[in-house]
Amino acid sequence: MNNYIFEKVSNTTKHFKFGGIEVSQTDQLPEDFNLQSILKTIEKNLPPLYFKGLKKIDIVQDPDFDKRGVNALYRDGVFIISPKQKNVNDLIDDIVHEFAHHVETLFPKNIYSDQRLINEFLKKRQELKFELQSEGYWLDQYDFDNLKYDEQFDDFLYKRVGGNMLRMVTTGSFIRPYASVSLREYFATGFEAYYLGKQNTLEKISPMLYDKINELHHQNEY
């Protein structure tokens, strides 16, 4: 089974059905993006049950993108994807990432109930705390055991620590820096890595996260 989704794919229809899912381009993607072909490529590489309950994919410039510094959002079974994409691979990244958040809603017990993934994440958070303290950062106001997204903590990581330092202190612990901001993003970035050609790296860095996604992928019944 080929888990590598990237594939060159040119843009035509603004509204169409993808399986039972409504797809709408409220705002247009670049002309050389074929959204139907991209979605078919993704469909071939994801288990059918990942599509359960998915209501809509909308390409639209949402005001929350700039506010949160992201290109995609997941809201109640709907993928909201920015039309401002550097290339096809960036669009695929965004769609696969939002699939991860959807999969979380489908199988929360499979992913989190035994606490093993949570424990792996918290251990890495403590490693991050140690690295940041070693670099001289004052951290008393931040809760490194908080599993949820926290805007203040996110601002600290990306605005005060900054991209270069954050990459340095997360290398070897997180698949990429964004995985450190919350448990949900830890899962979603690992999900991206699994389906976008970085399985070996994911297994090495986050073995429990790899195992959880691998189990979901290969399960036939839920």
Residue 90 lies in a domain: yes
Same domain, 93 and 133: no
Cβ contact 97:72 at 8 Å: yes
Q: How many domains does the chain have?
A: 2
Cβ contact 66:82 at 8 Å: no
Q: Residue 67 is which amino acid?
A: K
Same domain, 194 and 144: yes
Domain boundary among 105, 133, 163: 105
Residue 10 lies in a domain: no
pLDDT of residue 10: 40
Residue 146 lies in a domain: yes
Residue 73 lies in a domain: yes
Same domain, 135 and 94: no
Domain boundary among 89, 105, 121: 105
Closest CA to 128 of 84, 81, 90, 174: 174
Residue 5 lies in a domain: no
pLDDT of residue 13: 56
DSSP per residue, 192-217: HHHHBT-HHHHHHH-HHHHHHHHHHH
pLDDT of residue 220: 52
Domain boundary among 59, 74, 105: 105
Tens of each residue's pLDDT in the chain, 222 residues: 444 544 433 444 578 888 778 999 999 999 889 999 999 999 999 999 999 999 999 999 999 898 888 899 999 999 999 999 999 999 999 999 999 999 999 999 999 999 999 999 999 999 999 999 999 999 999 999 999 999 999 999 999 999 999 999 999 999 999 999 999 999 999 999 999 999 999 999 999 999 999 999 998 544
pLDDT of residue 17: 82
Same domain, 78 and 168: no
pLDDT of residue 66: 86
d(CA 222, CA 212): 14
Q: Which domain holds residue 44?
A: 15-105
pLDDT of residue 15: 83
Contacts by 208-211 with C-beta closer than 8 Å and gap 24+? 208/116, 208/117, 208/119, 208/120, 209/117, 209/120, 209/175
Residue 95 lies in a domain: yes
Q: Give the rounded distance of the alpha carbon of 206 from its chain centre.
A: 15
Same domain, 70 and 135: no
pLDDT of residue 94: 96
H helices of 9-139, where? 35-45, 63-68, 88-106, 108-112, 116-134
Same domain, 155 and 210: yes
Residue 59 lies in a domain: yes
Cβ contact 25:79 at 8 Å: no
Same domain, 166 and 66: no
Residue 55 lies in a domain: yes
